[in-house]
Chain A
Amino acid sequence: MSQHPPKARVLFVDDEPRVLTTMRMLFRNQYDVLTADSGQAALELLKTQAVDVIVSDQRMPGMTGIEMLRAARELNPAAMRILLTGYSDLNAIIGSINEGEIFRFINKPWSNDDLTATVARAVAAARASAAAAQAGDGSAPIGPPPGVLVLDDDPQVPARIQTILGADFRVVAARSMEEAVNLLEKERIGVIISDTRVADSPVLGLISTLKQHHPELVSVILTERADAGTAIELINQGQIYRFITKPIHDSQCKITVSSALRQHHRLAQSPELHQRYEVAAPKAQPAAAESPQAKLMDRIRTLRTVVKRWV
């Protein structure tokens, strides 16, 4: 695949053969379509050949889609992972974010246009990042690590996280999105830890805009309001890196933040990776430019230069 074959390879995994037939019909013109009717078969196939994109059903006998994607990530880390599912419980979704590091969720029944567009983006990202992925992690971070921004209504959460992470990490706290943007303008931030809602507004817009304009910023969701729909939106539109639930577990929190900071470093070092974390445009059109939300988004867009300077 590093030889830039004429067609990208896409693997479809589903226990319903009719779905595989449909996929073959739908994509055979653009891609080299591979199919597997179970997780085990998909992993066997991945052992012998690399693919650019894996699209998998969640509910399959023997092995769930997430289990398969987690194993596939070990076998073929460069492949973009997409979960195609009719019905998933929250744990499965959180698992797929944290363990599968997936690119998108697609709900059944799917729309052919959306599916082809998403697969096309995934293929483009895979192609673009192929070289960087092969190059590995790159150099070790130089200088002090960037700060961790904690966005939460509860003022105890940032203190708690600072305690857990220890003095090596710099934790800054924000209790509203405006405060968060102020801090992002002033400080060098690598990771944002946020609840799903802050001061009664969803953070999805902020996270999504940040990811669009500053792909090297890594977001982690820390919440007790776990909700499957929100999690799916956050992955599809915000490319959140991790989704963890309160109460905070020390070791889980520390591992997550360290890993997020490494991810940030990797993204800052290799801009070609950014496409892998490209977000989908939100379905609803943004509000009029006069609204405070929109002004905030404008400020985030202008952050670009500032962040670039730090990176």
Chain B
Amino acid sequence: MSGSGPDIRSRHGGEIRDGGVRMTWRKMLPLFAAVLAVAAIGVLAFLVRKTQTVDNALHLERLKNIRTVDALDVGLNRAVTQVGVSTMVNVADKRAVTTAQLGNALDALENGPAALRGLSPEIDTALDRFLDTIESKFELAFDFEARNILVNQRLIAGLDAVPVAADELVARLGADKAEPARALATQLKTEVTTYGVVQTPVNEDNIRALLEQFEALAAGGPEATQEALHRLRARVNDVIADKNELVRRISDFLARPTAEHLEELEKAYMGWHGQQVAIANEYRLLLAAYAAVLLLVLAWLGIRLRRSYRLLDRANAELARANEHLEEQVQARTRDLSETLKRLQESQAQLIQSEKMASLGQMVAGVAHEINTPLGYARSNAEIVRNALAEIRGLVAAQTRALQLMTSENASDEEVAQALTAAHGIAESIDAEQLTTELDTLLADADHGLQQIAELVASLKDFSRVDRSRTDLFNVNDGIESALKICHNQLKHRIEVIKAYGQLPPIECSPSQLNQVFLNLITNAAQAIADTGRIYIHTAADAEGVTIRILDTGCGMTEEVRARIFEPFFTTKPVGKGTGLGLSIVYRIVEDHGGRIEVRSAPGKGSEFKIRLPLRQNRAGTAAAASGPAVDAALAAA
């Protein structure tokens, strides 16, 4: 029984350890789930942000900026072109306005939230090229503007001079040639004016042909005619040269490839944008996949939840069903349990009985030894005395014979002397005087031995109290004394018993049961003392009852042992040496008497048992004390 103690403890300890692991796991689980959820949300946020990198508003603004620049560029071209054909001041002003607007628009490309600068190296390169081009275009515009007024005025002057020179030539050519010359002059004037006014004149060949015709008309003419022709030619050439310069400058200006470069810039930007959109699309795809996975997880959790709900429902249903049958089950179980209890009670009664018999046997064996020694010498002494008596009888016979002879008148002196000598010889040989003294000693010893035996038997009777009623008024001190006598042979020579008995009133109790308690506690105390030691027994009384304390200087016990000491079958003795029932019976007897038993112990120092018993039994208590069938049966058997 004692062997199972550590097993239970270690098993218990194991559960605690396992429980600890499970507990931390349980505690960790929500934390783990939270971390998982945060991570999932983080991934979601990341993906959403990645899909949001393409800002459509910004993209449109950038495109608008590019279009604005394009429009302004076209506007500038138109303005410059207009300047080319008009000298009106407001046209120049308009160009300045356009230039300023273009500057702002370019700035918007360079800086600001919708800037193109810095988006990608390709865009930067295209932007730089475009800016270089437009800058050179601005320079051309300034040059053109500066030259334009001068050249334009010169051109206007030239245009004004050509009709004059033509009319002079016509006049010089004379009347015969006046008709064709006038026609030529008119044609020439028209052509030249056209040349000067048209934005990009294409009639230079016509002018050259008209001049050739004039030359042909004037061929062979006088010097003055030739000179007039020459002047006309010079004027016309001036007009053509000026006009050509203007046209060249404008076309130079217009030829700056701003539109192409802007287009390239836009293409580069569109390329970049397309890339961004592609990346965003990739992330969008990822996001969709991720969302799908999350949905799957959610679905799985949902299914699990549903399944556990279903299990719960089923368990609930089973519980409900079980509840319906509970009543029957309880009844069946109660029947089983009461049968088991009955069997247990029977076997417990048997065990208690055998414990009683075992301790009784031990007690009897001890008492037998106690009795056998005085019995041994008393019997032996009796035998010796009987043998000695034979010798004494011989002496008495001899002496009687001598006496008879002495008093007899028939006897001769010789016979008397012989008889006296014989009697004397016998007395000498047996040393009658010493013998009788010795016989006295032997008989006294035998007496003492018999007295001892009588006392032992009386103490057995006292202890068992079979000749008394079951409940009686009883002095506890007497019970302790009789228990001490019974276990005297366990204590003698080895253990000093120090008694401090108080004045006790007799208490109502079952004396034989209490004697059993005292014997058990004293025996236990003696067994706890390995070699030599002391047992202190104190008794005291107060208004409610009596207190008995039994202390020993034995080995004591650990807290584990102390806690279990009153359990049935708990024993620290080796297998076969004790049933482990002794103290549980002690406990029951004290409880049955309405008393209390407490134990204190220090390993290596000793133990103290303290019993508190009431003066009077209440009815229930008395009934219980009287109804310990096994205990009483065992004691009755003693």
* Residues of chain A whose beta carbon lies under 8 Å from any beta carbon of chain B: 15-16, 18-19, 21-22, 25-26, 57, 59-62, 86-87, 107-110, 112, 115
Q: Nearest Cβ distance between residue B240 and chain A, in whole angstroms?
A: 143
Digit string of B424-449 for contact with A (CB within 8 Å is 1, else 0)?
00000000000000100110010011
| Least CB separation from B381: chain A residue | A22
B458 at the A/B interface (Cβ < 8 Å)? no
A59 to B494, CA, bound (A): 12
What residues on A are CB-neighbors of B448 within 8 Å? 18
- Pairs across A and B, CB under 8 Å, 18 listed: A16-B374, A16-B377, A19-B373, A21-B442, A22-B445, A25-B381, A25-B442, A26-B384, A57-B373, A60-B493, A86-B370, A86-B373, A108-B376, A109-B375, A109-B379, A110-B376, A110-B380, A115-B380
B384 partner, pick from A15, A25, A61, A62, beta carbons under 8 A? A25
What residues on A are CB-neighbors of B376 within 8 Å? 19, 22, 86, 108-110
Give 8 A-B pairs besides A16-B377, A112-B384 with Cβ atoms closer than 8 angstroms: A19-B373, A22-B384, A25-B381, A25-B384, A60-B493, A86-B371, A108-B373, A108-B375
A21 to B365, CA, bound (A): 26
Q: Nearest Cβ distance between residue A87 and chain B, in whole angstroms?
A: 3
A108 to B448, CA, bound (A): 17
B445 touches A87 (CB 8 A): no
The 3 closest A-B pairs by CB, nearest first: A61-B493, A86-B372, A87-B369
B209 at the A/B interface (Cβ < 8 Å)? no
Digit string of B491-506 for contact with A (CB within 8 Å is 1, else 0)?
0111000000000000
Digit string of B359-391 for contact with A (CB within 8 Å is 1, else 0)?
000000110111111111111110110000000
What residues on A are CB-neighbors of B489 within 8 Å? 59
B369 touches A25 (CB 8 A): no
A110 to B379, CA, bound (A): 8
What residues on A are CB-neighbors of B365 within 8 Å? 87
A61 partner, pick from B372, B378, B492, beta carbons under 8 A? B492
What residues on B are CB-neighbors of A22 within 8 Å? 376-377, 380-381, 384, 442, 445
Q: Given A18-B377, A62-B493, does the pair A108, B442 have CB atoms closer than 8 Å?
A: no
Q: Nearest Cβ distance between residue A61 and chain B, in whole angstroms?
A: 3
A60 to B492, CA, bound (A): 9
What residues on A are CB-neighbors of B373 within 8 Å? 16, 19, 57, 86, 108
What residues on B are CB-neighbors of A60 within 8 Å? 493
What residues on B are CB-neighbors of A115 within 8 Å? 380
What residues on A are CB-neighbors of B449 within 8 Å? 18
Interface centre among B366, B373, B379, B438 (most CB of A within 10 A): B373
| Least CB separation from B449: chain A residue | A18
Give the residues from 381 to 437 in chain B that come closer than 8 angstroms, CB to CB, to chain A: 381, 383-384
Q: Nearest Cβ distance between residue B486 and chain A, in whole angstroms?
A: 15
B372 touches A109 (CB 8 A): yes
A108 to B377, CA, bound (A): 9
Tell me if B's interface is mostly helix, strand, loop or mixed: helix
What residues on A are CB-neighbors of B369 within 8 Å? 59, 86-87, 108
What residues on A are CB-neighbors of B494 within 8 Å? 61
What residues on B are CB-neighbors of A18 within 8 Å? 374, 377, 445, 448-449
What residues on B are CB-neighbors of A110 within 8 Å? 376, 380
A275 to B371, CA, bound (A): 34
Q: Nearest Cβ distance between residue A122 and chain B, in whole angstroms?
A: 18
What residues on A are CB-neighbors of B493 within 8 Å? 15, 60-62
| Least CB separation from B444: chain A residue | A18
Q: Nearest Cβ distance between residue A147 and chain B, in whole angstroms?
A: 37
What residues on B are CB-neighbors of A57 within 8 Å? 373
Give the residues from 115 to 129 in chain B that come closer than 8 angstroms, CB to CB, to chain A: none
A87 to B369, CA, bound (A): 5
What residues on A are CB-neighbors of B370 within 8 Å? 86
Q: Given A26-B384, A87-B365, A109-B379, does the pair A21, B372 have CB atoms closer than 8 Å?
A: no
| Least CB separation from A109: chain B residue | B376
| Least CB separation from B367: chain A residue | A87
A18 to B374, CA, bound (A): 8
A59 to B489, CA, bound (A): 10
Digit string of B466-503 for contact with A (CB within 8 Å is 1, else 0)?
00000000000000000000000100111000000000
Q: Nearest Cβ distance between residue A21 and chain B, in whole angstroms?
A: 6
What residues on B are CB-neighbors of A87 within 8 Å? 365-366, 368-369, 372
A49 to B68, CA, bound (A): 144
A26 to B380, CA, bound (A): 8
| Least CB separation from A85: chain B residue | B369
A19 to B445, CA, bound (A): 9
What residues on B are CB-neighbors of A62 within 8 Å? 493
What residues on A are CB-neighbors of B445 within 8 Å? 18, 21-22
Q: Nearest Cβ distance between residue B488 and chain A, in whole angstroms?
A: 12
A19 touches B372 (CB 8 A): no
A108 touches B372 (CB 8 A): yes
A60 to B368, CA, bound (A): 16
A60 to B445, CA, bound (A): 20
B377 touches A86 (CB 8 A): no
A77 to B448, CA, bound (A): 37
What residues on B are CB-neighbors of A112 within 8 Å? 380, 383-384
Q: Nearest Cβ distance between residue B447 and chain A, in whole angstroms?
A: 10
What residues on A are CB-neighbors of B379 within 8 Å? 109
Q: Nearest Cβ distance between residue B622 and chain A, in whole angstroms?
A: 39
What residues on B are CB-neighbors of A16 within 8 Å? 373-374, 377
Q: Nearest Cβ distance between residue B244 and chain A, in whole angstroms?
A: 137
What residues on A are CB-neighbors of B372 within 8 Å? 86-87, 107-109
What residues on A are CB-neighbors of B438 within 8 Å? 25
What residues on B are CB-neighbors of A108 within 8 Å? 369, 372-373, 375-376
A57 to B376, CA, bound (A): 12
